[in-house]
Amino acid sequence: MPSQIAPRGRKVRVVATLGPASSSPDMIRKLMLAGADTFRINMSHGGHEDKKPLIAAIRAIEKDLKRATTILFDLQGPKLRVGRFEEGRVMLETGSEFVLDRLDQAGDATRVSLPHPEIFAALEVGARLLLDDGKMVLRALSVSEDRIVTRVEVGGILSNSKGLNVPDVVLPMAALTEKDRRDLVFALEEGADWIALSFVQRPEDVAEARTLIGGKASLLAKIEKPAAVERLEGILELADAVMVARGDLGVECPPQQVPLVQKQIVAAARAMGRPVVVATQMLESMILSPTPTRAEVSDVATAIYDGADAVMLSAESAAGAWPVESVAMMDSIAKAVEADPGYAKRLHFTETLPDATTADALSLAARSIADTVSASAIICFTLSGSSARRIARDRPTVPMLVLTPKLQTARRMGLLWGAHAVQTRDVASFEEMVGKAKRMALRHGLAKAGDRIVIMAGVPFGTPGSTNVLHVQRLTGKELDGYTD
């Protein structure tokens, strides 16, 4: 599948969420051409029949443009909500008492039902309960198996079925609900490349999802709860990637802590060689406006300077008035940051020590050699994508062309920093490897006559996990004569 779209000219990936504003094949094509590398399908909205046309459109455009494209299915996770009120809404007065109970009755200004028994079992006196994305704050005064008496610390208007967050305790509930399990089966049947797991609290949540996925897709853990931040290393060990999901994270953590937590997650993910996505409200004003605020541009730039693999659009591309402009803005911000002479130095503020393996040693050497001989690109032959992930971990200054015979592997590269992935026929010899690397570098505009390229592969060819070859080659410019790949 040689690509008709040239490499993006940037290393950071762009994720665009699909929704009402971006559900037509024509709009999806425009988003891809504007710079979207990955399309997020949010399972919190709509049913399976709504998603099938999106998947079909992406795959049809992928085939037409001959560009491997990533599909990320985002599972809803266990959403906590209060019950309903007799009048539809009530006013919670600051300083008053308010009761959460398990009665199957409409609520009023003094009480409301809470249909989540696990909260009653886990909550402790003094713990906070946040309502409606943190707009209102309750403090637990007493807790029993069917009744929580609280003091309203921050009041406001509370209406039917508003969301509830409990940041101070780890709830004894799985990250996968029955709906998530059904959605997961659907996503895998439809060929999902990545599965995003919401409201992860502990490594065990990731392990359960991995078992259910069974290697059919890569797994991204969304970090949006303080409990997940506290057990971040264990989660990173089991996940293929993580997301800094700043929506709920910004509710459960004090706002001033979110930038610190974001940097902590990005640095930890990079150190362990896991792709990391920064998401939520990145260009929020572009839901309604054709241009972002300067603060939003700075926010996106900061994530890129910190070394995030990808930045994500949510409502901006899913429901906004300017979806194509939002993707184009992400693309232009990333290119501007990466053109900064100081960008490469800032990337390496985070230390990424190699493991004691041949593959890691060669990956680190590939970056060093590319810099020393002023190579134009690193060409990586891979079956599973693990070699590409190792190279990306070291954040080389030159582009990386990932060549793989597996379309599934090429598609999963859409969240990986610096990777331009192409599905192509496998090679069977060293000479064939060198020839294909040179031709593909020329064909995709990553090198020209006289340039050097660094080639990384494994011998015997076609064997996963056998990375043991590092080779430097100079191009003559005549490699394409009479060849087609």
| Residues designated catalytic | 40, 81, 222, 280
As beta bridge partners, residue 455 has 379, 471
Closest residue by Cα to residue 72 from 244, 212, 187, 164:
187
Task: Specify the pairing of strand 111-113 against strand 156-159.
Answer: unpaired
Q: Is 322 exposed, middle or buried (0-12, 13-18, 19+ CB in 10 A)?
A: buried
Query: How open is the CA angle 215-418-217, to the nearest 5 degrees?
Result: 10
Distances (CA, A) of 206 to 73, 174, 255: 15, 10, 26
CB contact at 8 A, 239 and 272: no
Closest residue by Cα to residue 208 from 223, 193, 197, 217:
197
Q: Which secondary structure element, helix H or strand E, spans residue 91, and what is its range? A: strand 89-92
Distance from C-alpha of 162 to C-alpha of 179, rounded to nearest angstrom: 19
CB contact at 8 A, 159 and 85: yes
Distance from C-alpha of 245 to C-alpha of 251, rounded to nearest angstrom: 11
Distance from C-alpha of 81 to C-alpha of 64, rounded to nearest angstrom: 44
Distance from C-alpha of 418 to C-alpha of 400, rounded to nearest angstrom: 6
Strand arrangement of the beta sheet that strand 164-165 belongs to: 111-113, 97-101, 147-154, 136-143, 128-131, 164-165
Distance from C-alpha of 20 to C-alpha of 319, rounded to nearest angstrom: 6
End-to-end CA distance of the chain: 9
The phi and psi torsions of 340 (rounded to 5 degrees) equal -65, 125
Distance from C-alpha of 334 to C-alpha of 337, rounded to nearest angstrom: 5
Distances (CA, A) of 478 to 125, 142, 438, 440: 75, 79, 10, 12
